[in-house]
Copies of this chain bind each other. A is one copy, B any other.
Amino acid sequence: MTARTGSFPTAVVVTIGDELLSGETVDENQATLAAFATAHGFDVVSAHTLPDDTDAIARTLTGLRGRCRLCLVAGGLGPTKDDKTRRAVAQALGVALQRRPELVAHLEACFARLGRSMPPANLVQANLPEGAEVLENRLGTAAGFVAGDGPAYVVLPGPPRELRHVLAEAVRPRMAALGGRPRRATRRYRCLGLGESSLAARAEPVLERLARSFSAYPFHVHYRAAMPRVDVTLVFETDDPPPPDVLRAFDDALAAVLAPALYGIGAAGLAARILAALSAAGETLATAESCTGGRVATEITAVPGASAVFTGGAVTYADAAKRQRLGVARTDLERHGAVSEPVARAMAEGARSAFDATYAVATTGIAGPSGGSREKPVGTVWIAAASPDGTTAKRLRLHGEREAIQHAAAGWALKYLWDRLVADDLARVTHRDDDAQKAAS
């Protein structure tokens, strides 16, 4: 509950591309670079997105001199005419571009592997600012590089896969030399089912009490909402993380007040936690989706090793598919409509049986924009969970556009299944930070 102390080295993220500034592309690289710097103990103080314009890039990079320790730059290293980053970095450092024979060889090898001759345009990718150190990119033609100090400019290719590869293989080993240090300790409380201000109203009095009781471990809190999910994250200001007993006191105090929404502590996502709980209990899982159209299965299968628990699922969009694939009764469809409690329950039970699983979760709803009525407006969704002990269901009233409703319904369905596992004593809220499970949210 203190302000940032500024005791950590600072970093700035710069991403480059006209397509980012026209809004055509969501800039994932910014988050990747910010997370990477944070993981190496840097305080990321700002991020900037710039057009494919040599002067604009050079001006911003020059303006950062003496203002941060590290500057991570992504994009603008390709062979096409909109790529200006190499020249801009050279300009900011006041040096020339220099053709690097090892990069010419790398380019030739890349094209040889594809059985093609190198387009002459690609040769510009062999030019680097004088004195730059090459960051090898085995996945593409654009090598990264490090140049300058105060800040050190670490320049990376823009395609996200290549960016992550070069970060992991070439930048990570250099981070200690670049000023990196162990990351700041954080504690992340993961919630679904209450809004940001409700969670804050519950958490703040407890956090004030904890700040007084554990004044040797000052922290600040932030709330991240990606509805329906909200994370409450504590960032500790100390160099060393609080000892396990202190963290346990934080966990217990917060779990008590966040309880209806809290499903976990730490990086592991909801789907990963569900799969781990089912796996530990020797249970299996199937899905039956209508309005979510495959999003529940997508979240589940994003988790490595999902195949040990998840047997399969049906996306039953047409009523006939609900009847024939999941055994939903025609009378239920006719009497109650496809978006109804009896149909949601029958879908969950049908998925258990069709996919030979012990647990199943189902969704049926109206995602819009059309299909709503006065009685069942767009956003009306029924979710159901089935197990050997029986089937339960719940109605949601969601808001927003089609994809927001589809996404939110998938999240709620997973949380509903999680609550069932907790009630069945197969799952409980624990701290799990395993990286392998981060993928699923």
Evaluate contact between B403 and A302: CB separation under 8 angstroms.
yes
- CB of A340 within 8 A of chain B? no
Evaluate contact between A307 and B317: CB separation under 8 angstroms.
yes
Evaluate contact between B293 and A298: CB separation under 8 angstroms.
yes
Within 8 A of B (CB), among A21-48: 21-28, 30-38, 44-48
- CB of A220 within 8 A of chain B? yes
Evaluate contact between A121 and B197: CB separation under 8 angstroms.
yes
Q: Using CB atoms, name the residue of chain B closest to A267.
A: B24
The minimal Cβ–Cβ distance linking A377 to chain B, given in whole angstroms, is 15
Stretch at the interface among A96-104, A146-154, A225-233, A244-252: A225-233
- CB of A402 within 8 A of chain B? yes
The minimal Cβ–Cβ distance linking A267 to chain B, given in whole angstroms, is 10
Evaluate contact between B313 and A294: CB separation under 8 angstroms.
yes
- CB of A193 within 8 A of chain B? no
Q: What are the interface flags for A278-316 relative to B under an 8 Å C-beta threshold, 1 for contact and 0 otherwise?
A: 000000000101001111111011101111001111111
Evaluate contact between A46 and B51: CB separation under 8 angstroms.
yes
- CB of A130 within 8 A of chain B? no
- CB of A209 within 8 A of chain B? no
Report if A311-B321 is in contact (Cβ < 8 Å); known contacts: A25-B224, A197-B119.
yes
- CB of A341 within 8 A of chain B? no
Residue numbers in B under 8 Å from A139 (CB-CB): 399
In angstroms, Cα B204 to Cα A121, docked, is 10
Within 8 A of B (CB), among A68-126: 78-82, 119, 121-122
Evaluate contact between B4 and A30: CB separation under 8 angstroms.
no
Residue numbers in B under 8 Å from A51 (CB-CB): 4, 45-46
Of A35, A45, A307, most B-chain CB atoms within 10 Å: A307
Residue numbers in B under 8 Å from A369 (CB-CB): 304, 436
Evaluate contact between A226 and B82: CB separation under 8 angstroms.
no
Evaluate contact between B23 and A36: CB separation under 8 angstroms.
yes
In angstroms, Cα B50 to Cα A48, docked, is 9
Residue numbers in B under 8 Å from A196 (CB-CB): 78, 80, 159
Evaluate contact between B314 and A227: CB separation under 8 angstroms.
no
Evaluate contact between B121 and A227: CB separation under 8 angstroms.
no
Question: How many copies of the chain does the oligomer comprise?
Answer: 2
The minimal Cβ–Cβ distance linking A387 to chain B, given in whole angstroms, is 18
- CB of A56 within 8 A of chain B? yes
Evaluate contact between B26 and A28: CB separation under 8 angstroms.
yes
Residue numbers in B under 8 Å from A225 (CB-CB): 158-159
Report if A312-B307 is in contact (Cβ < 8 Å); known contacts: A24-B231, A294-B298, A294-B301.
no
The minimal Cβ–Cβ distance linking A340 to chain B, given in whole angstroms, is 17
- CB of A412 within 8 A of chain B? no
Evaluate contact between B318 and A355: CB separation under 8 angstroms.
yes
The minimal Cβ–Cβ distance linking A62 to chain B, given in whole angstroms, is 14
In angstroms, Cα B317 to Cα A222, docked, is 38
A302 touches which one: B305, B318, B320, B402 (CB < 8 A)? B402
Residue numbers in B under 8 Å from A301 (CB-CB): 292-294, 315, 317, 367, 406
The minimal Cβ–Cβ distance linking A44 to chain B, given in whole angstroms, is 4
Of A28, A287, A296, A311, most B-chain CB atoms within 10 Å: A311
Evaluate contact between A226 and B25: CB separation under 8 angstroms.
yes
A355 touches which one: B233, B321, B439 (CB < 8 A)? B321
- CB of A419 within 8 A of chain B? no
Evaluate contact between A403 and B439: CB separation under 8 angstroms.
yes
Report if A35-B22 is in contact (Cβ < 8 Å); known contacts: A51-B45, A161-B227, A321-B312.
yes
The minimal Cβ–Cβ distance linking A188 to chain B, given in whole angstroms, is 8
Evaluate contact between B32 and A23: CB separation under 8 angstroms.
yes
Evaluate contact between A161 and B293: CB separation under 8 angstroms.
no
Q: Using CB atoms, name the residue of chain B closest to A321.
A: B312
Evaluate contact between B311 and A320: CB separation under 8 angstroms.
yes
Report if A4-B53 is in contact (Cβ < 8 Å); known contacts: A31-B20, A31-B27.
yes
- CB of A52 within 8 A of chain B? yes
Q: Top 4 nearest A-B pairs by Cβ distance?
A: A23-B35, A293-B301, A294-B294, A294-B297
Can you pick out 11 interface pairs between chain A and chain B where the beta carbons lie within 8 Å of each other? A21-B44, A27-B27, A30-B49, A45-B56, A78-B197, A81-B204, A161-B401, A292-B301, A304-B370, A313-B315, A314-B325
